[in-house]
Amino acid sequence: MTGASGRHGTARGRGAPSANTRDEEGTVAHVEQARLVELALGHSAHGDESTLRHLAECGRCRDELRAMARVVAAARAADVVDLPTAPPERVWQRIV
């Protein structure tokens, strides 16, 4: 996954240029992690054409977005009964 910076390993501003755009080091500037999280959570990309274009062209960012979307879907599908509960008081008494 990418770092906080936008390139895989560094940070950038919101959105992303075309996958063919390179930064000053010649590295493709990818969609930043925070933006991928927003998209995975279902926030709209409407009006963010550069991000949409980049995702259409960049398999690496698409894969990261898909992975994040799977995590979001799994978390949303968890029932309260699936979550851990505190042990009974007798267990705490034995620990203390």
SS3 call for 68: helix
SS3 call for 73: helix
Residue 34, pLDDT score: 93
The tens digit of pLDDT for each residue in 26-62 reads: 566 899 999 999 999 999 877 788 899 999 999 999 9
Of residues 6 and 53, which shows the higher confidence score?
53
Q: For the chain, which residues make up each domain, given as ranges? A: 1-96
Q: How far apart are CA 36 and CA 42, in angstroms?
A: 10
Q: How far apart are CA 60 and CA 70, in angstroms?
A: 16
The tens digit of pLDDT for each residue in 70-89 reads: 999 999 988 777 667 888 99
Record the pTM: 0.58
